[in-house]
Structure 1
Amino acid sequence: MSYKIIVDSCGELPESYKKDEHFERVPLVLDIDGHHVVDDETFDQKDFLRRVSESPNCPKSSCPSPERYLEAYTCEADNVYAVTLSAELSGSYNSAELGKKLYLEEKGQKNIHVFNSCSASIGQTLIAMKIEECEKAGMAFEQVIETVDSYIAGQNTYFVLESLEALRKNGRLSNLKAFVANALNIKPVMGATPIGTICQLDQARGINRALKKMVEYITKDLKNPAEKLLAISHCNCPERAKLVKEELLKHVPVKEVLILDTAGVSSLYASDGGIIVVV
């Protein structure tokens, strides 16, 4: 049967997937001091990061409307899947579910399922790739859902931030804590909980030490590495991403490594210099 995979724009897609008719990105909209940025192929990361660094305010994001998801669901594919940013971080999941309800009410029965990634960025990418793998294997719709739900439950997300400013600006960190951390060059090692909220795993002085701590956590947590696709997304720091890849491969012989630059929403969360790893 034919299929379509819809990913909200917090998830990055490799270039080949952007040209594949089986995939569609549904953009969120970013707002920085009244300047609206659509998170699609027109996104200018350099300009966005400049605006963020110059502003005392945190950028805001608006999730796609239910009508936009309805539009994406309206296609010839028999099986339609949506993969959204963690429902704990955005309204995108609820919007996708409302779009599904609208479709079923207005256009009739169709196989549509919305996956809450409980992650973000490259984590959504891996989920989309898993859906594709299941579809190509000829799995039935319900079997794809069961397999991918199990995959999501076993997925782990980690990230290290160059700066705590984004967390301070959006109220997740006090001004005093951010000031002290920046003054002491403390970099947090962050992760995602099983339900998709953000937690701090550790911290270190200096970005390189923080990245090494992150590698230690990944190495400790990773099961059956030879079967895993490891994904790294970076915000404007390809050399740092390459370093993380090399350090990880010293410890875990994974099947494959995917590296992508962050798009708009992920750039907002990661900030300039941030690294996200999902496996």
Structure 2
Amino acid sequence: MKYKIVIDSCGELLDRWKTDEKFESIPLTLTVGGEDIVDDESFNQAEFLEKVAQCPECPKSSCPSPERYRQAFDCDAEHVYAVTLSSNLSGSYNSAVLGKNLLSEDKPEQKVHVFNSCSASAGQTLIAMKIEECEEAGMDFEQVIKTVEEYIQSQNIYFVLENLETLRKNGRLSNMKAFVASALKIKPVMNGTPEGTIAQLDQARGINKALVKMVDYVVENAKDSAEKVLAITHCNCASRAEIVKEEILKRIEVKDVVVLDTAGVSSMYANDGGIIVSI
């Protein structure tokens, strides 16, 4: 096997990757009311969202161990790449780097690179797609790393959520001003910063108006869009995702579009009805 792509479970897998040995998802663990839920192929989004809605405590996530990453990296692939959640949002990146270092003690010849996505969810999916594209084009290991790191710097991610409580209570909005407008149904338009933190771009009254503003930001900042893939991830709101896709495609041309339902970690943070867009 020439290459392998390891992606932590905040990044959604394309359907074709789920049966491809070149791809492996490393699960985070979600905790709701004292119950641990492994974010793997057994994850049931509907059950999870119901448990979150019924639990007074905020759900939490814990990252994979360095040993779990080491096991994933220890394979017969010539080139191994990992794509993790932003290091400013999770310990997954540091854990993967430790896993790489553990493996290098036993197999110093194994080529492994860990990408800090500076993103999450759909952003990670697109990064894995870029790695795949580079490898299939026959690039060497160092060239893939350089190309993908540049791609990460050019990537934009935006999201509109029905509910910010999980992000707020888990300290992921530390750089944002306190958000207390929920009674007015004010919905913020959020984005990922180049450093991989979360910022508020704008806000609107009601989710539909917020989505319109998000689409405006996507279109305005999408440079060279015809050469890029658009990814839309939704939490239990496929029709909303379809509307967002159609509105974006009315205004810009893209190379391809993928629309995915959130896996566990993204479901936890996006909450029911959340939309994430990356390009």
**Band the TM-score falls in, shorter-chain normalisation:** over 0.9
Unpaired segments of 5 or more residues in structure 1?
none
Correspondences of 1:123-142 after superposition (within 5 Å): 123-142=123-142
Identity across matched positions, percent? 66
Which residue of structure 1 lines up, in the alignment, with residue 4 of structure 2?
Answer: 4
Q: Partner of 1:166: helix, strand, or coil?
A: helix
1:65 lines up with 2:35 in the alignment: no
Q: 1: distance between equivalents of 2:164 and 2:99? A: 35
Deviation at 1:55, TM superposition (A): 1.9
Distance in 1 between residues matched to 2:40 and 2:110, nearest whole Å: 27
Q: Tell me by how many angstroms 1:181 deviates.
A: 1.8
Partner-residue secondary structure (3-state), 2:142: helix
SS state of the match for residue 61, structure 1?
Answer: strand
Which residue number corresponds to residue 13 of structure 2?
Answer: 13
Q: CA separation in 1, counterparts of 2:109 and 2:240?
A: 47
Contact 1:89-1:196 within 8 A present in 2 as well: yes
Taking the TM superposition and a 5 Å limit, the aligned residue runs for 1:232-271 are: 232-271=232-271
Deviations 1:153-196 (A, max 9, x none): 0000000001122234335579xx55x42210111100000010
In the alignment, what sits opposite 2:34? 34
> SS in structure 2 opposite 1:251?
coil
Tell me, yes or no, if the aligned pair for 1:56 and 1:169 is still in contact at 8 Å: no
Number of aligned residues: 277
Aligned partner letter, 1:211:
L
Structure 1 equivalent of residue 22 of structure 2: 22
Counterpart of 1:277 in structure 2: which amino acid? Answer: V
Counterpart in 1 of 2:185? 185
The one-letter code of the counterpart of 1:44 is N
Q: State the AA in 2 paired with 1:142.
A: E
TM superposition outliers: structure 1 runs of 4+ over 4 Å? 171-174
1:207-226 alignment to 2 at 5 Å? 207-226=207-226
Q: Deviations over 1:176-235 (max 9, x none)?
A: x55x42210111100000010000000000110000000001111011111110000000
What aligned pairs does 1:43-122 form with structure 2 within 5 A after superposition? 43-122=43-122
TM-score by length of 2: 0.96
Q: What amino acid maps onto 2:52 in structure 1?
A: V
Q: Cα 1:136–1:173, aligned 2, differ >3 Å: closer, same or farther?
A: closer
Deviations 1:101-154 (A, max 9, x none): 000012332110000000000111110010010001110100000000000000
- Alignment partners' CA distance in 2, 1:110 and 1:164: 41
User: Structure 1, residues 215-257: CA drift from partner, whole Å, max 9, x if none?
Assistant: 0011110111111100000000000000000110111111211
Match of 1:197 in 2: 197
CA contact 2:118–2:152 (8 Å) conserved in 1: yes
> Do the aligned partners of residues 220 and 64 (structure 1) sit closer, same or farther apart at CA in structure 2, a change above 3 Å counting?
same
Partners of 1:234 and 1:274 within 8 A in 2 = yes
Tell me whether 182-191 or 101-110 shows the greater mean CA deviation: 101-110
Q: Which whole-Å CA distance do the structure 1 matches of 2:136 and 2:173 have between them?
A: 44
Output the CA distance in 2 between the equivalents of 1:126 and 1:14. 10
The alignment partner of 2:166 has SS state of: helix
**For residues 226 and 52 of structure 1, do their structure 2 counterparts lie closer, same or farther at Cα, with a shift above 3 Å needed?**
same
Q: How far apart in 1 are the matches of 2:44 and 2:264?
A: 8
Q: Which residue identity lines up with residue 216 of structure 2 in the other structure? A: E
Q: Distance in 2 between matches of 1:49 and 1:37?
A: 12
Contact 1:57 1:169 in 2 (8 A): no
SS in 2 for 1:64: coil
CA contact (8 A) 1:157 1:278 kept: yes
Contact 2:3 2:79 in 1 (8 A): yes
> In the aligned structure 2, how far is the partner of 1:124 from the partner of 1:147?
15
Q: Is the 8 A contact 2:172 2:198 kept in 1?
A: no
Q: Distance in 2 between matches of 1:226 and 1:33?
A: 45
* Distance of 2:141 and 2:172 partners within structure 1: 39
Unaligned stretches of 5+ in structure 2? none
User: Structure 1 length as normaliser, TM-score?
Assistant: 0.96
Rounded to whole Å, the distance in 2 between the matches of 1:167 and 1:129 is 27
